[in-house]
């Protein structure tokens, strides 16, 4: 399958600091990437859709000023959790769509586990 | 509201048996369907995609789609303990993002 790389895998930070997570599609260009969050024993929750060269589309209830998304190239999207708090501790997973329309397949990065102290 | 429903499980099967995972979806206009496997603490991994009615086989995995009944299933033959994971059903209605079910936990006992 396609390769989507996410970095860092683990991050621990102090409350109030900002954390940046990178998502790269290594062997295909992705005009659209997606950011998910998953709490323990819960399902994937879509946070936002990242579109190359334009503003991200956020899901209802997700604060765009807190979760900054940048999709500057066809292979890289970043998620910055600003002024992180303990309740932001979660497993953040990016995904990238290979192909377009109905036949596009979604591939996931390895995920980034964030712990805010 | 597009919904994808899965039994949360756990579904327990003995090693070597066939595991049958089921999924129903609400959007009749859905066109593409995916099964992902997620091990605990890991991100989902795509294992099957299916776009037309009928069966699609890939190794020990068979995906089955019935659009009239809005039903998609995944069969795992000769189940192995390493198949123990949560299986996520995902549905795409068009150019929108995938809608995921909450997943079914599968436990394969040696």
State whether residue B96 is helix, strand or coil: coil
Q: What's the mean pLDDT when you consider all of chain A? A: 91
As a whole number of Å, the end-to-end CA separation of chain A is: 36
The predicted structure's pLDDT at residue B1: 67
Nearest CB to A102 within list B31, B100, B103: B31
- What average pLDDT score do residues A51-70 get? 91
The predicted structure's pLDDT at residue B101: 92
SS3 of A51-64: the string is: ECCCCCEECCCCCC
Residues ≥6 apart with Cβ < 8 Å to B102: A42, A43, B6, B8, B88
pLDDT at A79 over 70: yes
Nearest to A113 by CA among A8, A15, A5, A22: A8
Best residue in A10, A28, A41, A43 for a mutation probing chain B (most B CBs within 10 Å): A43
* CA nearest to B30 within chain A: A102
**Which chain B residues are Cβ-neighbours of A107 within 8 angstroms?**
46
* Cα distance between residue B47 and residue A109, in whole Å: 15
* Cα distance between residue B21 and residue B41, in whole Å: 21
* CA nearest to A1 within chain B: B46
The predicted structure's pLDDT at residue A42: 85
* Cα distance between residue B23 and residue B102, in whole Å: 10
**Which chain A residues are Cβ-neighbours of B88 within 8 angstroms?**
43-44
Write the pLDDT tens digit of every residue in A95-115: 998 876 666 788 999 999 999
Q: Phi, psi at residue B91, to the nearest 5°? A: -130, 135
Q: Which residues of B touch A (CB under 8 A)?
A: 31-32, 34, 36, 41-46, 49, 51, 88, 90, 92, 94-95, 97-98, 100-103
Asked whether the beta carbons of B73 and B55 are under 8 A apart, the reply is no
Tokens of A56: 């991200």
Q: Do B92 and A1 touch (CB under 8 A)?
A: no
State whether residue B82 is helix, strand or coil: helix
pLDDT at A78 over 90: yes
**Which residue positions in chain B have pLDDT lower than 70?**
1, 93-96
State whether residue A66 is helix, strand or coil: coil
* Cα distance between residue B87 and residue B45, in whole Å: 9
């Amino acid at each position: 399958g396609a390769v989507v790389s996410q970095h860092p895998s683990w991050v621990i930070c102090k409350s109030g600091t900002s954390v940046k997570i990178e998502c790269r599609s290594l062997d295909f260009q992705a005009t659209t990437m997606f950011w998910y969050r998953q709490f323990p024993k819960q399902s994937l929750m879509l946070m936002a859709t990242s579109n190359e060269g334009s503003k991200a589309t956020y899901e209802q209830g997700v604060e765009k000023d807190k979760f900054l998304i940048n999709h500057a190239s066809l292979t890289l999207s970043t998620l910055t959790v600003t002024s992180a708090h303990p309740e932001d501790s979660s497993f953040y997973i990016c995904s990238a769509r290979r192909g377009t329309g109905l036949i596009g397949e979604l591939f996931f990065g390895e995920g980034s586990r964030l712990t805010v102290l | 509201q597009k919904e994808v429903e899965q039994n949360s499980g756990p579904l327990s099967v003995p090693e070597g048996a066939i595991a049958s995972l089921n999924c129903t979806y609400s959007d009749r206009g859905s066109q593409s369907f995916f099964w992902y496997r997620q091990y605990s603490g890991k991100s989902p991994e795509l294992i099957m995609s299916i776009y037309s009615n009928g069966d699609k086989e890939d190794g020990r995995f068979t995906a089955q789609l019935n659009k009239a009944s809005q039903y998609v299933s995944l069969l795992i033959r000769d189940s192995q303990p390493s198949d123990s994971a949560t299986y996520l059903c995902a549905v795409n209605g068009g150019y929108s993002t995938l809608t995921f079910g909450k997943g079914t936990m599968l436990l394969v006992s040696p």
